[in-house]
Structure 1
Amino acid sequence: MVKIALDPTPFHSTHSLLEFPALAADLGYKYLQMTPHADMIPFFNHPKADDDLVKKMKKACKDAGVEIASTLPVLRWSGPDEDAREAAVRYWKRVIRITADLGVDTIGTEFNGRPERAEESERAFYRSMEELVPIIEKEGINVFIDPHPDDFVENGLAAWRVIRGINSKNFGMVYVASHTFHMGNQPLEIMQAAGDRLGIVHVSDTMDHTASHGLRYITNPPGNAVRVHQHLKMGDGDVNFDEFFSGLKAIGFLDNPKSVMCSSVFAENENARAVAIYQREEMERRISALS
């Protein structure tokens, strides 16, 4: 069955890095997704974990009976600024080493780059691939990429085409439920296109920012180039989770023991424990109902 993982981001202010595995176990999770953290792999900058900290994290997981399902770096490997892109490639090499040393073979990430400079960003992305793909393939690591709102590619089907263009079976796609409306609101089409190359999904809800003829959310002055979405608990937004889970079942995602389904609710830190438990129970219930 799919691995059900906790994104510990809501607990960054209350728990230390090495406490995350025991926390996940306490909340009923067997898996943890290692998302950006100041002590391990921070946003956009060089990883801060040395080999000693990596060993301590691995031991903390073993002691808690929890596994790391995936790491999640967010780096500027598609940045149209060449200095930033080159730095991101260097940081990626350390991320790959940390991931392998943790005994993990799965990385989730984002495209990054700039939507207003999409063509330049795509060139930068493939330039980074020329250097990183051989390393990733040699290490036997699978990398799955999310078209995040404000990345150089945001539409889900277009993102799959960019991933397919890497021409490596070690690369696939992340589907984030709360990005559904930015990806074009075509969940079944995207899932079917990616097929068994859809390796990670993030489960969280959001309101449809395109509803009410685009007036559900209003920013001033009009015409601001902003992207609005939320990471709410299931049922608090507009995502069709019946469709979401049935689509994943249809492509074999739910029955694949290598697939990762991650709870990624960031909007209710004051109720983080209760929300994490609710999310896990709701994911388990929906998966069981489709068995």
Structure 2
Amino acid sequence: MSTRQAGELRFGYGTNGFGSHRLDDALAVIAGLGYDGVALTVDHPHLDPYDDDLPARTASVGRRLEELGLAVVIETGARYVMDPWNKHEPTLVSATGRERRVDLLCRAVRIGADLGAEAVSFWSGTAPSGTDTEEAWHRLLSGVEPVLEEAARLDVTCAFEPEPGMFIDTVAGVLELRRRLGHPERLRVTIDVGHCVCNETRTVAECIHAAGPLLSNVQIDDMLPGVHEHLELGHGDVDFPATLGALLDVGYAGLASLELPRHGHAAPEVAARSLEVLRAALSEAQRDRTPDDRTAESSRTPA
């Protein structure tokens, strides 16, 4: 169980990095290592959003989270949960089948409501080759709107993730999506810090400041410029003291969760090493800041 004090950054671990573990076992390991929460991917290995007995299974997971003292965010990036042949399909910008993605996201929102999730995170998907930009925007907007309606009905926060190679691939793109939707309160921002290194023109810290108070979910991994591969911390170009410092600057209070889906073969060891790196980086970031610095920075508004 975590002993982290209120007001400090809280670290979580993504269950997609524990794909070889039963969910109850994964949660026990994550809590036992000292993490504060989990980023729970709704997928068939753990919490299947299409399970015939989903309400009972969700209630069981909720009891386990409470027992272990773990906070939770819901992730929706399962690779083959809808189509066994095509990864991530259909998406919000696919030519056909978009209603199936909307249904999945609404299921995720309901699961999030039942678990008291801090956020439900999702992304746009990749537009098929030759898709007109405005047509892709139309598809995306028409898909996001019913998800936000369900989120409003159930008092759930959604957080939109820019993903390299997808239609919305930068923080600026998420802010444009919010603008086109009329700046809905229920739609906020997910940042994967590795993605910032991979394909943003700004630094990780600058991306975090651009999102500012809209930031509601953070994914942690390492990455190299131009290469969308989630690396263990210390194997890429992410400056973790600067990254965590920026989260302190903007007053981020959500979970910052490891996103290492390809490291399940050594999940407990990777999770333990990762938490050591993050705690050391947080200590360094805190040494470089005073309470006055954090107060001044937290008043910044999104770019």
Contact 1:113-1:121 at 8 Å conserved across structures: no
| Matching of residue 18 in structure 1 with residue 32 in structure 2 | no
What is the SS of the residue equivalent to 2:233? coil
Question: What does 1:182-197 correspond to in 2, within 5 Å?
Answer: 182-197=199-214
Contact 2:122-2:161 at 8 Å conserved across structures: yes
Question: What does 1:122-137 correspond to in 2, within 5 Å?
Answer: 122-137=137-152
Distance of 2:225 and 2:186 partners within structure 1: 32
Distance of 1:23 and 1:288 partners within structure 2: 24
Distance of 2:234 and 2:118 partners within structure 1: 32
Contact 1:41-1:95 at 8 Å conserved across structures: no
Residue-by-residue CA offset, 1:199-242 (whole Å, 9 max, x unaligned)? 11111111223xxxxxxxxxxxxxxxxxx422112211122223
Distance of 2:99 and 2:140 partners within structure 1: 11
- TM-score by length of structure 1 reads 0.81
Distance of 1:53 and 1:270 partners within structure 2: 25
Structure 2: gaps spanning 5 or more residues: 1-7, 78-87, 287-303
CA 1:176–1:279 in structure 2 vs 1: closer, same or farther (change >3 Å)?
Answer: same
Amino acid across the alignment from 1:72: E
Question: Which residue pairs with 1:119 in the alignment?
Answer: 134
What is the SS of the residue equivalent to 1:159? helix
Residue-by-residue CA offset, 1:126-155 (whole Å, 9 max, x unaligned)? 102332222212211111111112211213
Amino acid across the alignment from 1:58: G
What is the SS of the residue equivalent to 1:229? strand
Distance of 1:280 and 1:92 partners within structure 2: 30
Contact 2:171-2:211 at 8 Å conserved across structures: no
Distance of 1:110 and 1:169 partners within structure 2: 17
Question: Which residue pairs with 2:278 in the alignment?
Answer: 283
How many residues end up aligned between the 2 structures?
Answer: 263
Say which is worse superposed, 50-59 or 161-170, in terms of deviation.
Answer: 161-170
Question: Which residue pairs with 1:170 in the alignment?
Answer: 186
CA 1:115–1:152 in structure 2 vs 1: closer, same or farther (change >3 Å)?
Answer: farther
CA 1:129–1:164 in structure 2 vs 1: closer, same or farther (change >3 Å)?
Answer: same
Contact 1:114-1:150 at 8 Å conserved across structures: no
Contact 1:35-1:71 at 8 Å conserved across structures: yes
CA 1:242–1:285 in structure 2 vs 1: closer, same or farther (change >3 Å)?
Answer: closer
Question: Which residue pairs with 2:106 in the alignment?
Answer: 93
Distance of 1:123 and 1:50 partners within structure 2: 32
Shift of 1:160: 2.4
Residue-by-residue CA offset, 1:165-190 (whole Å, 9 max, x unaligned)? 33211211111122122233433332
Shift of 1:112: 1.4
CA 1:269–1:41 in structure 2 vs 1: closer, same or farther (change >3 Å)?
Answer: closer
Contact 2:194-2:221 at 8 Å conserved across structures: yes
Distance of 1:288 and 1:188 partners within structure 2: 17
Contact 1:34-1:68 at 8 Å conserved across structures: no
What is the SS of the residue equivalent to 2:257? strand
Distance of 2:38 and 2:166 partners within structure 1: 25
What is the SS of the residue equivalent to 1:290? helix
Contact 1:78-1:122 at 8 Å conserved across structures: no
Shift of 1:115: 6.8
Question: Which residue pairs with 1:221 in the alignment?
Answer: none
Question: Which residue pairs with 2:163 in the alignment?
Answer: 148
